Amino acid sequence: MGYAELTPHELLTPGFAAPEVTGRAWHVRWDREPAIGPDALPAVVDFHTSGTTGPRRQWRRHGPKVWAEAGMLADLVAPGRPDAVVSFVPPVHLFGALATVLVPARLRVPAWYRDGFYGTLPDIGGRPVVMATPWIFELLLRHLDWVRGLDHLTVLYGGAMLPATAGDLLRELGPERALLVEVLGSTEAGGIATRSWREGEPPEWQLFPDVGFAGPVTPGAEVPLAVTSPRLAFRPGEPEPASWEADDRVVPLGERSFRHAGRAGRLVKVNGRRINLDDAEYALRAVLDCADLALLPVTDPKIGEHVELLVALAPGTEVADLDLAAAFARLGVRPRKLHVVPRIDRSALGKRRHVPTPPTADEEVAAT
Protein backbone atom coordinates (compact mmCIF):
# COMPACT_ATOMS: atom_id res chain seq x y z
CA MET A 1 0.00 0.00 0.00
CA GLY A 2 1.40 3.38 -1.00
CA TYR A 3 1.11 6.70 0.81
CA ALA A 4 0.02 9.60 -1.39
CA GLU A 5 2.29 12.59 -0.76
CA LEU A 6 0.28 15.72 -0.02
CA THR A 7 1.21 19.30 0.67
CA PRO A 8 -0.22 21.01 3.78
CA HIS A 9 -2.51 23.00 1.47
CA GLU A 10 -3.84 19.82 -0.16
CA LEU A 11 -4.45 18.30 3.26
CA LEU A 12 -6.07 21.27 4.99
CA THR A 13 -8.17 22.78 2.18
CA PRO A 14 -10.82 20.00 1.77
CA GLY A 15 -11.57 19.88 5.52
CA PHE A 16 -10.93 17.21 8.13
CA ALA A 17 -13.96 15.11 7.14
CA ALA A 18 -13.28 15.05 3.38
CA PRO A 19 -12.95 11.53 1.85
CA GLU A 20 -9.55 12.40 0.38
CA VAL A 21 -8.33 13.12 3.94
CA THR A 22 -9.99 10.29 5.87
CA GLY A 23 -10.36 7.53 3.27
CA ARG A 24 -6.85 6.89 1.96
CA ALA A 25 -3.25 6.64 3.10
CA TRP A 26 -1.18 9.82 2.81
CA HIS A 27 2.12 11.40 3.77
CA VAL A 28 2.93 15.06 4.52
CA ARG A 29 6.46 16.47 4.97
CA TRP A 30 5.75 19.16 7.53
CA ASP A 31 9.50 19.35 8.13
CA ARG A 32 10.09 20.62 4.57
CA GLU A 33 7.22 23.12 4.42
CA PRO A 34 6.91 26.64 5.84
CA ALA A 35 5.46 26.66 9.33
CA ILE A 36 1.72 27.23 9.57
CA GLY A 37 -0.26 28.94 12.33
CA PRO A 38 -3.84 29.22 13.56
CA ASP A 39 -4.79 31.25 10.47
CA ALA A 40 -4.43 28.02 8.44
CA LEU A 41 -7.70 26.85 10.01
CA PRO A 42 -11.21 28.22 9.44
CA ALA A 43 -12.47 30.67 12.06
CA VAL A 44 -14.96 28.01 13.16
CA VAL A 45 -14.43 24.25 12.83
CA ASP A 46 -17.33 21.80 13.13
CA PHE A 47 -17.07 18.34 14.64
CA HIS A 48 -19.68 15.72 15.49
CA THR A 49 -20.00 13.40 18.45
CA SER A 50 -19.50 9.74 17.56
CA GLY A 51 -22.96 8.58 18.66
CA THR A 52 -21.63 6.16 21.30
CA THR A 53 -23.81 7.52 24.11
CA GLY A 54 -26.72 9.06 22.23
CA PRO A 55 -27.67 10.86 19.01
CA ARG A 56 -24.86 12.20 16.82
CA ARG A 57 -24.61 15.98 17.33
CA GLN A 58 -22.72 18.90 15.82
CA TRP A 59 -20.36 20.98 17.95
CA ARG A 60 -18.34 24.02 16.96
CA ARG A 61 -14.89 25.15 18.02
CA HIS A 62 -12.94 28.31 17.26
CA GLY A 63 -10.03 27.56 14.92
CA PRO A 64 -7.36 29.27 17.08
CA LYS A 65 -8.45 27.21 20.08
CA VAL A 66 -8.18 23.98 18.08
CA TRP A 67 -4.67 25.07 17.12
CA ALA A 68 -3.85 25.82 20.76
CA GLU A 69 -5.00 22.36 21.83
CA ALA A 70 -2.77 20.79 19.18
CA GLY A 71 0.11 22.62 20.81
CA MET A 72 -0.76 21.15 24.19
CA LEU A 73 -0.79 17.64 22.74
CA ALA A 74 2.55 18.32 21.04
CA ASP A 75 3.95 19.31 24.44
CA LEU A 76 2.68 16.03 25.94
CA VAL A 77 4.64 13.89 23.46
CA ALA A 78 7.71 16.14 23.44
CA PRO A 79 9.53 14.12 26.18
CA GLY A 80 9.92 11.31 23.61
CA ARG A 81 11.81 13.72 21.29
CA PRO A 82 9.70 12.65 18.29
CA ASP A 83 10.98 12.96 14.74
CA ALA A 84 7.90 11.59 12.91
CA VAL A 85 4.19 10.83 13.35
CA VAL A 86 2.44 7.66 12.23
CA SER A 87 -1.31 7.92 12.74
CA PHE A 88 -4.24 5.53 12.50
CA VAL A 89 -6.83 7.96 13.90
CA PRO A 90 -9.32 9.29 11.31
CA PRO A 91 -9.29 13.11 11.24
CA VAL A 92 -13.08 13.30 10.98
CA HIS A 93 -13.41 13.59 14.79
CA LEU A 94 -11.71 16.13 17.06
CA PHE A 95 -8.99 13.87 18.45
CA GLY A 96 -8.13 12.60 14.97
CA ALA A 97 -7.94 16.12 13.51
CA LEU A 98 -5.60 17.12 16.31
CA ALA A 99 -3.43 14.00 16.47
CA THR A 100 -3.26 13.13 12.77
CA VAL A 101 -3.06 16.57 11.16
CA LEU A 102 -2.28 19.38 13.58
CA VAL A 103 0.13 17.83 16.11
CA PRO A 104 2.67 16.89 13.40
CA ALA A 105 2.23 20.41 11.97
CA ARG A 106 3.06 21.84 15.41
CA LEU A 107 6.02 19.46 15.82
CA ARG A 108 7.25 20.17 12.25
CA VAL A 109 7.86 16.45 11.61
CA PRO A 110 6.81 14.23 8.68
CA ALA A 111 3.49 12.46 9.14
CA TRP A 112 2.02 9.28 7.71
CA TYR A 113 -1.67 8.38 7.98
CA ARG A 114 -3.19 4.98 7.30
CA ASP A 115 -6.94 4.57 7.17
CA GLY A 116 -7.22 0.89 8.08
CA PHE A 117 -5.80 -2.02 10.07
CA TYR A 118 -4.27 -3.73 7.04
CA GLY A 119 -1.42 -2.48 4.88
CA THR A 120 2.25 -1.64 5.15
CA LEU A 121 3.83 0.52 7.82
CA PRO A 122 6.05 3.37 6.62
CA ASP A 123 9.71 2.50 6.26
CA ILE A 124 11.11 4.65 9.06
CA GLY A 125 13.22 4.28 12.17
CA GLY A 126 14.04 6.93 14.71
CA ARG A 127 11.63 8.16 17.36
CA PRO A 128 8.06 8.32 16.01
CA VAL A 129 4.81 9.10 17.78
CA VAL A 130 2.07 6.60 16.92
CA MET A 131 -1.43 8.08 17.17
CA ALA A 132 -3.43 5.06 18.25
CA THR A 133 -6.92 3.60 18.42
CA PRO A 134 -7.52 0.50 20.59
CA TRP A 135 -6.68 -1.91 17.76
CA ILE A 136 -3.29 -0.38 17.00
CA PHE A 137 -1.54 -1.94 19.99
CA GLU A 138 -2.37 -5.36 18.52
CA LEU A 139 -1.16 -4.16 15.12
CA LEU A 140 2.17 -3.05 16.57
CA LEU A 141 2.59 -6.35 18.41
CA ARG A 142 2.04 -8.13 15.08
CA HIS A 143 4.80 -6.00 13.53
CA LEU A 144 7.47 -6.33 16.19
CA ASP A 145 10.25 -6.20 13.63
CA TRP A 146 9.11 -2.67 12.76
CA VAL A 147 8.72 -1.73 16.42
CA ARG A 148 12.11 -3.13 17.43
CA GLY A 149 13.73 -1.16 14.62
CA LEU A 150 12.79 2.11 16.33
CA ASP A 151 15.07 3.99 18.69
CA HIS A 152 12.06 5.03 20.77
CA LEU A 153 8.27 4.84 20.49
CA THR A 154 5.75 7.29 21.92
CA VAL A 155 2.06 6.34 21.70
CA LEU A 156 -0.60 9.05 22.03
CA TYR A 157 -3.97 7.51 22.85
CA GLY A 158 -7.33 9.21 23.28
CA GLY A 159 -9.98 6.59 22.60
CA ALA A 160 -11.93 4.13 24.71
CA MET A 161 -10.40 2.36 27.69
CA LEU A 162 -6.89 1.10 27.05
CA PRO A 163 -6.73 -2.55 25.92
CA ALA A 164 -4.51 -5.04 27.71
CA THR A 165 -2.25 -5.07 24.64
CA ALA A 166 -1.04 -1.58 25.58
CA GLY A 167 0.73 -3.03 28.61
CA ASP A 168 2.11 -5.86 26.46
CA LEU A 169 3.68 -3.30 24.12
CA LEU A 170 5.27 -1.34 26.98
CA ARG A 171 6.76 -4.52 28.41
CA GLU A 172 8.06 -5.54 24.98
CA LEU A 173 10.02 -2.31 24.55
CA GLY A 174 10.92 -1.52 28.15
CA PRO A 175 10.84 1.84 29.96
CA GLU A 176 13.85 3.27 28.13
CA ARG A 177 12.29 2.89 24.69
CA ALA A 178 8.56 3.49 25.12
CA LEU A 179 6.26 6.21 26.44
CA LEU A 180 2.47 5.99 26.59
CA VAL A 181 0.53 9.27 26.75
CA GLU A 182 -3.21 9.01 27.38
CA VAL A 183 -5.76 11.81 26.98
CA LEU A 184 -9.23 11.95 28.53
CA GLY A 185 -11.57 14.26 26.67
CA SER A 186 -14.61 14.62 24.46
CA THR A 187 -15.90 16.41 21.40
CA GLU A 188 -17.77 18.80 23.69
CA ALA A 189 -14.86 19.66 26.01
CA GLY A 190 -11.70 18.82 24.09
CA GLY A 191 -8.81 17.51 26.14
CA ILE A 192 -9.63 17.48 29.86
CA ALA A 193 -6.90 15.47 31.54
CA THR A 194 -3.84 13.40 30.75
CA ARG A 195 -1.41 10.87 32.19
CA SER A 196 1.88 9.43 30.95
CA TRP A 197 3.87 6.39 31.95
CA ARG A 198 6.53 3.93 30.77
CA GLU A 199 5.89 0.85 32.89
CA GLY A 200 3.70 -0.58 35.65
CA GLU A 201 0.34 0.81 36.64
CA PRO A 202 -0.75 4.13 35.14
CA PRO A 203 -0.60 7.22 37.39
CA GLU A 204 -3.59 9.36 38.31
CA TRP A 205 -5.06 11.86 35.89
CA GLN A 206 -3.83 15.47 35.75
CA LEU A 207 -5.99 18.28 34.37
CA PHE A 208 -4.80 20.12 31.25
CA PRO A 209 -3.09 23.43 32.12
CA ASP A 210 -6.12 25.52 31.09
CA VAL A 211 -8.75 23.23 32.65
CA GLY A 212 -10.11 23.44 36.19
CA PHE A 213 -12.79 21.74 38.24
CA ALA A 214 -16.10 23.58 38.01
CA GLY A 215 -16.63 24.64 41.60
CA PRO A 216 -15.03 23.44 44.84
CA VAL A 217 -14.25 19.75 45.24
CA THR A 218 -13.65 17.59 48.27
CA PRO A 219 -10.65 15.26 47.90
CA GLY A 220 -11.70 11.65 48.25
CA ALA A 221 -15.38 12.19 47.45
CA GLU A 222 -16.75 10.72 44.21
CA VAL A 223 -18.38 13.38 42.02
CA PRO A 224 -19.32 13.95 38.37
CA LEU A 225 -16.44 15.29 36.29
CA ALA A 226 -17.45 18.93 35.71
CA VAL A 227 -14.84 21.33 34.34
CA THR A 228 -14.21 24.84 33.10
CA SER A 229 -12.04 25.44 30.05
CA PRO A 230 -11.52 28.15 27.41
CA ARG A 231 -11.78 25.39 24.76
CA LEU A 232 -15.35 24.22 25.37
CA ALA A 233 -17.30 23.64 22.17
CA PHE A 234 -20.66 25.25 21.48
CA ARG A 235 -23.76 24.39 19.49
CA PRO A 236 -24.57 26.39 16.33
CA GLY A 237 -26.42 29.57 17.27
CA GLU A 238 -25.63 29.21 20.98
CA PRO A 239 -22.99 30.90 23.18
CA GLU A 240 -19.96 29.07 24.53
CA PRO A 241 -20.84 27.33 27.81
CA ALA A 242 -19.16 28.36 31.06
CA SER A 243 -18.61 24.74 32.12
CA TRP A 244 -19.13 21.17 30.97
CA GLU A 245 -20.19 18.07 32.90
CA ALA A 246 -18.93 14.84 31.35
CA ASP A 247 -20.44 11.38 31.63
CA ASP A 248 -17.69 10.38 34.04
CA ARG A 249 -17.41 9.86 37.78
CA VAL A 250 -14.13 10.86 39.42
CA VAL A 251 -12.52 11.05 42.85
CA PRO A 252 -10.55 14.31 43.12
CA LEU A 253 -7.17 13.89 44.81
CA GLY A 254 -6.35 17.57 44.93
CA GLU A 255 -6.98 20.76 42.99
CA ARG A 256 -5.67 19.34 39.70
CA SER A 257 -5.68 15.55 39.86
CA PHE A 258 -8.24 12.77 40.15
CA ARG A 259 -8.85 9.06 40.02
CA HIS A 260 -11.31 7.95 37.36
CA ALA A 261 -14.16 5.97 38.91
CA GLY A 262 -16.04 5.16 35.69
CA ARG A 263 -18.63 6.55 33.32
CA ALA A 264 -22.03 7.20 34.85
CA GLY A 265 -23.84 4.88 32.45
CA ARG A 266 -21.23 2.18 32.93
CA LEU A 267 -21.52 1.74 36.70
CA VAL A 268 -23.99 -0.91 37.86
CA LYS A 269 -24.76 -2.80 41.05
CA VAL A 270 -25.49 -6.50 40.68
CA ASN A 271 -26.62 -8.14 43.92
CA GLY A 272 -25.00 -5.30 45.85
CA ARG A 273 -21.68 -5.59 43.99
CA ARG A 274 -20.63 -2.38 42.23
CA ILE A 275 -19.13 -3.02 38.80
CA ASN A 276 -17.35 -0.56 36.53
CA LEU A 277 -18.19 -2.10 33.17
CA ASP A 278 -15.22 -0.49 31.43
CA ASP A 279 -12.80 -1.99 33.97
CA ALA A 280 -14.66 -5.29 33.76
CA GLU A 281 -14.38 -5.44 29.96
CA TYR A 282 -10.64 -4.77 30.27
CA ALA A 283 -10.34 -7.70 32.70
CA LEU A 284 -12.41 -10.04 30.53
CA ARG A 285 -10.26 -9.41 27.46
CA ALA A 286 -7.33 -10.96 29.32
CA VAL A 287 -9.13 -14.31 29.70
CA LEU A 288 -11.51 -14.55 26.72
CA ASP A 289 -9.89 -15.32 23.37
CA CYS A 290 -12.43 -13.64 21.09
CA ALA A 291 -12.55 -11.00 18.37
CA ASP A 292 -14.40 -8.50 20.58
CA LEU A 293 -16.63 -8.30 23.63
CA ALA A 294 -18.82 -5.84 25.50
CA LEU A 295 -20.82 -5.75 28.71
CA LEU A 296 -24.32 -4.32 28.49
CA PRO A 297 -26.20 -3.00 31.54
CA VAL A 298 -29.80 -4.24 31.66
CA THR A 299 -32.80 -4.06 33.97
CA ASP A 300 -33.64 -7.27 35.79
CA PRO A 301 -37.14 -7.84 37.24
CA LYS A 302 -35.77 -9.68 40.28
CA ILE A 303 -32.65 -7.79 41.34
CA GLY A 304 -33.02 -4.47 39.50
CA GLU A 305 -29.67 -4.11 37.72
CA HIS A 306 -27.77 -6.80 35.85
CA VAL A 307 -25.34 -7.22 32.95
CA GLU A 308 -25.31 -9.23 29.76
CA LEU A 309 -22.20 -10.22 27.81
CA LEU A 310 -21.85 -9.68 24.06
CA VAL A 311 -19.14 -11.75 22.36
CA ALA A 312 -17.94 -11.67 18.76
CA LEU A 313 -16.13 -14.97 18.26
CA ALA A 314 -12.71 -15.22 16.63
CA PRO A 315 -12.75 -16.95 13.24
CA GLY A 316 -12.88 -20.73 13.51
CA THR A 317 -13.92 -20.79 17.18
CA GLU A 318 -17.08 -21.64 19.09
CA VAL A 319 -18.53 -20.68 22.46
CA ALA A 320 -17.21 -23.95 23.89
CA ASP A 321 -13.66 -22.72 23.17
CA LEU A 322 -14.08 -19.76 25.56
CA ASP A 323 -13.01 -20.07 29.19
CA LEU A 324 -16.26 -18.68 30.52
CA ALA A 325 -15.66 -19.98 34.04
CA ALA A 326 -12.47 -17.92 34.30
CA ALA A 327 -14.24 -14.92 32.79
CA PHE A 328 -17.14 -15.04 35.23
CA ALA A 329 -14.74 -15.50 38.14
CA ARG A 330 -12.83 -12.41 36.97
CA LEU A 331 -16.09 -10.46 36.63
CA GLY A 332 -17.33 -11.52 40.06
CA VAL A 333 -20.88 -12.20 38.86
CA ARG A 334 -22.47 -14.39 36.21
CA PRO A 335 -24.00 -12.33 33.38
CA ARG A 336 -27.71 -12.86 32.93
CA LYS A 337 -27.13 -13.92 29.31
CA LEU A 338 -24.32 -14.30 26.83
CA HIS A 339 -25.11 -13.05 23.32
CA VAL A 340 -22.98 -14.30 20.42
CA VAL A 341 -23.00 -11.58 17.75
CA PRO A 342 -21.29 -11.24 14.35
CA ARG A 343 -19.60 -8.00 15.42
CA ILE A 344 -19.84 -5.16 17.92
CA ASP A 345 -20.40 -1.77 16.35
CA ARG A 346 -17.71 0.69 17.43
CA SER A 347 -16.59 4.19 16.53
CA ALA A 348 -13.23 4.90 14.91
CA LEU A 349 -11.78 5.40 18.40
CA GLY A 350 -13.04 2.03 19.62
CA LYS A 351 -16.01 3.27 21.63
CA ARG A 352 -19.01 0.97 21.44
CA ARG A 353 -21.90 2.72 19.78
CA HIS A 354 -25.12 3.19 21.70
CA VAL A 355 -27.02 -0.08 22.17
CA PRO A 356 -30.15 0.58 24.29
CA THR A 357 -31.24 -3.08 24.42
CA PRO A 358 -29.50 -6.39 23.71
CA PRO A 359 -29.29 -6.95 19.97
CA THR A 360 -30.93 -9.82 18.21
CA ALA A 361 -28.22 -12.45 18.49
CA ASP A 362 -27.31 -15.23 16.17
CA GLU A 363 -27.05 -17.35 19.27
CA GLU A 364 -27.88 -16.81 22.93
CA VAL A 365 -26.34 -18.80 25.72
CA ALA A 366 -27.81 -18.70 29.22
CA ALA A 367 -25.17 -17.53 31.64
CA THR A 368 -27.07 -18.15 34.85
Residue 34 above 50 pLDDT?
Answer: yes
Kindly state the average pLDDT of the residues 200-217: 94
Coil/strand/helix, residue 101: helix
Dihedrals φ, ψ of 30, to 5°?
-60, -25
* Residues 112, 193 within the same domain: yes
Q: According to the model, what pLDDT value does residue 353 have?
A: 66
Query: What percent of the chain has pLDDT above 70?
Result: 92
- pLDDT score at 360: 42
Closest CA to 249 of 265, 241, 260: 260
CA 337 from chain centre, in angstroms, equals 28
Domain stop point among 262, 297, 331: 262
Q: Quick one: CA torsion of 170, 210, 86, 182, rounded to 10 degrees?
A: 20
**Is the confidence at residue 182, as pLDDT, over 90?**
yes
Q: Verify that 112 and 38 share a domain, yes or no.
A: yes
Beta-bridged to residue 195, according to DSSP, are: 182
Whether 177 and 145 map to the same domain: the answer is yes
- Rounded average pLDDT over 86-110: 97
Which of 262, 283, 312 is a domain's end point? 262
Residues 111, 207: one domain?
yes
Between CA 139 and CA 128 the distance in angstroms is 16
Containing structural domain, residue 236: 4-262
Looking at the fold, whether 103 and 168 belong to one and the same domain comes out as yes
- The Cα 197–Cα 167 span in angstroms is 10
pLDDT at residue 286 in the model: 85
Q: How many domains does the chain have?
A: 2
Smallest CA-to-CA distance from 270 within 355, 221, 334 is with 334
Assess whether 246 and 332 both reside in one domain: no
Do 242 and 354 fall within a single domain? no
Same domain for 189 and 156: yes
Tell me the pLDDT of the chain averaged across its residues. Answer: 89
Find out whether 186 and 192 touch, Cβ atoms under 8 Å: yes
User: Residue 253 belongs to a domain with what CATH number?
Assistant: 3.40.50.12780
pLDDT tens-place string over residues 112-165 = 999 877 778 999 999 999 999 888 998 999 999 999 999 999 999 997 778 778
Q: Are residues 297 and 312 in the same domain?
A: yes
For residues 25 and 126, state if they share a domain.
yes
Q: Last residue of some domain: 210, 244, 262? A: 262
Q: 14: Cβ–Cβ under 8 A, 6 or more apart, which residues? A: 20, 21
SS3 at position 75: helix
Give CA separation, 148 vs 128, 140, 162, in Å.
Answer: 12, 10, 22
Whether the Cβ atoms of residue 294 and residue 174 lie closer than 8 Å to each other: no
Stretch 170-192: mean pLDDT:
96
What is the DSSP secondary structure assignment for residue 308, as one 8-state letter? Answer: E
Q: Return the higher-pLDDT residue of 357 and 220.
A: 220
Say if residue 361's pLDDT is above 70.
no
Determine the straight-line distance between the first and last CA of the chain, rounded to whole angstroms: 48
The verdict on 119 and 9 lying in the same domain is yes
Average pLDDT (191-195) is 98
- The pLDDT score that the predictor gives to residue 356 is 47
**pLDDT > 90: percent of the chain:** 68
pLDDT for the residue 36:
96
- What digits encode the pLDDT tens for the residues 275-330? 888 888 888 988 899 999 999 888 877 767 888 999 999 999 999 999 999 999 98
Q: What is the mean pLDDT of residues 48-71?
A: 85
Measured CA to CA, the distance from residue 163 to residue 284 in angstroms comes to: 10
Q: What is the pLDDT of residues 13-29, one digit of tens each?
A: 999 999 999 999 999 99
Instruction: Assign 105 a pLDDT band (cuts: 50, 70, 90).
Output: very high
Q: Report DSSP state, residue 328.
A: H
Residue 54's pLDDT band (cuts 50, 70, 90): low
Q: What pLDDT sits at residue 285?
A: 87
In a shared domain, residues 179 and 205: yes
What pLDDT does 239 receive?
A: 93
Q: For the domain that residue 318 is a member of, what is the CATH number?
A: 3.30.300.30
> CB-based contacts of 200: which residues, under 8 Å, 6+ apart?
none
